[in-house]
Amino acid sequence: MLFPEKLHKKFKNREKSNALRKLSEQKILIDFSSNDYLGFTSSKTIFDGAHQLLIKKTIQKNGATGSRLLSGNHKLYVEAEKMLADFHNSEEALIFNSGYDANVGFFSSVPQRGDIIFYDELIHASIRDGMQMSNAKSYKFKHNDIEDLKFQIERNQKERSDQEIYIVTESVFSMDGDCPDLKSLIAFCQKYNYHLIVDEAHATGVFGDYGVGLLQKLEVENQVFARINTFGKALGCHGAVVLGSKDLKTYLVNFCRSFIYTTGLPPHSIATIQMAYEELQRTPEIEKLIENITFFTQELESKHLTSRFIKSNSAIHCCIISGNENVKKVANEIQKKGFDVKPILSPTVPQGKERLRFCLHSYNSKEEISEVLELLATFVSI
């Protein structure tokens, strides 16, 4: 059967720009690319704990059996959502199958026709996809630029009594590793009764006591309309949670299609989430991660690499190397030396802003950090 010509042209154009994505077999390299910031993915304690929890609860099911509104709302869901609400100091919590499902479902169902969404220009693709499915209009503002946000609101807001304004950002941006001024953003939203939504995917497990996230570290978690926290990064498992009011949870259960029309997570996934959160509260790995982040920053200075990197206090650090071919070449050379550092290509990031993305972990040694940056320094001109 012939492959459609329009589709053929699209991936041929990707090939020409040296940006065609391919699935590759994982190599055993020193990890500077995964989101497994605390090493929880390989935790035997979490793995065994999840199994024992299922035995204790006499749950012997491999799947949820259906959507949560039909047959899939097994008893672990109720316990896990109460635990998540308590841990994250939220009135309610609603678990989704993934961060993508949470963002697509939230932004396609909550903002209504006549409402407006203003979003940071570097917001995650899942949020963009959700906004495209929404009946609300959406406008971007310059990255972490509250003055441009004010300008965009003034230019696009319509004078109507029933219009709601939603503003969305991330506490840690996945492709830059930087953070917005959340306190200023919250103060601005409170002044005008705007609804702020913050994606905490890359802050959960990294910032604050026990990895509660950046909003809780700043003690402003109850001043936002909704938080989206995911479990596939530092928690080392799968799924996501929307944190917010009782009314928000009720609304999502009734109107969010990515929640309503999907099979629930299996009991083992929910048990793993519970065990990962228990481990967060007793592990020394968060302190080790913070130490490595500090050490990485110091090494950038000592090796005169700081100017090449986007400023970041998170576990994500990015070295700008313009051009898909250039950044892939440097990544390949570093990988040959045994370090798994991934290139981020356009169109994932804007053309000219291609970069090497270094993800730091609690289990990276200081020697590994020094060596990989020493290698980088030999391949890039300062």
Buried b (16+ CB within 10 A) or exposed e, 14-46: eeeeebeeeeeeeeeebbbbebbbbbbbebeeb
Query: How far is it, in rounded angstroms, from Cα 11 to Cα 1?
Result: 18
More confident residue, 300 or 160: 300
The predicted pLDDT at position 317 comes to 98
192-239 pLDDT, tens per residue? 999 999 999 999 999 999 999 999 999 999 999 999 999 999 999 999
3-state DSSP percent of the chain in helix, strand and coil, to 5: 45, 15, 40
Checking if the pLDDT of 186 tops 90, the result is yes
Q: By C-alpha distance, which of 110, 219, 206, 121 is closest to 170?
A: 121
DSSP string, 295-337: HHHHHHHHTT-GGGB---SSSEEEEE--SHHHHHHHHHHHHHT
Mean pLDDT score of the chain: 95
Mean pLDDT score, 128-146: 97
What confidence category does residue 381 fall into, taking pLDDT thresholds of 50, 70 and 90? low
Checking if the pLDDT of 71 tops 70, the result is yes
Query: How far is it, in rounded angstroms, from Cα 255 to Cα 252?
Result: 5
Q: Do domains 24-42+284-379 and 57-280 have the same CATH topology?
A: no
Burial class of residue 167 (count of CB atoms within 10 Å of its CB; 0-12, 13-18, 19+): buried
Quick check: bond before 347 cis, omega within 30?
A: yes
25-35 pLDDT, tens per residue? 777 899 999 99
The predicted pLDDT at position 198 comes to 98
Query: How far is it, in rounded angstroms, from Cα 67 to Cα 45?
Result: 30
* 197, containing H or E segment: strand 195-199
Checking if the pLDDT of 382 tops 70, the result is no
How far is residue 269 CA from its own chain's centroid?
19
Tokens (6 digits) for 366: 């200081």
Q: Poorest-confidence range of 6-20, 130-144, 179-193, 228-242?
A: 6-20
Tokens (6 digits) for 300: 């950038």
Tokens (6 digits) for 209: 């006591």
Secondary structure class of 228 (helix, strand, coil): strand
Judge whether 251 and 100 are in contact, CB under 8 Å: no
Q: By C-alpha distance, which of 74, 79, 84 is closest to 267?
A: 74
What amino acid is encoded at 121 in this protein?
A: E
Checking if the pLDDT of 91 tops 80, the result is yes
User: For the chain, what are the domain ranges?
Assistant: 24-42+284-379, 57-280
117-131 pLDDT, tens per residue? 999 999 999 999 999
Domain range 57-280, CATH architecture: 3-Layer(aba) Sandwich (3.40)
* Those residues with Cβ within 8 angstroms of residue 217's Cβ, 6 or more apart along the chain or in another chain: 207, 208, 209
What confidence category does residue 158 fall into, taking pLDDT thresholds of 50, 70 and 90? confident
CA pseudo-torsion sign 334, 32, 44, 64: negative
227 beta partners: 198, 243
| pLDDT > 90 fraction of the chain, expressed in percent and rounded | 89
Query: How far is it, in rounded angstroms, from Cα 289 to Cα 271?
Result: 25
What confidence category does residue 56 fall into, taking pLDDT thresholds of 50, 70 and 90? very high
Mean pLDDT score, 231-254: 98
Report residue 43: phi and psi, to 5°: -75, 115
Tokens (6 digits) for 141: 């503002």
Q: At the fourth CATH level, which superfamily is domain 24-42+284-379?
A: Aspartate Aminotransferase, domain 1 (3.90.1150.10)
What confidence category does residue 339 fall into, taking pLDDT thresholds of 50, 70 and 90? very high
How far is residue 215 CA from its own chain's centroid?
14
pTM given for the model: 0.94
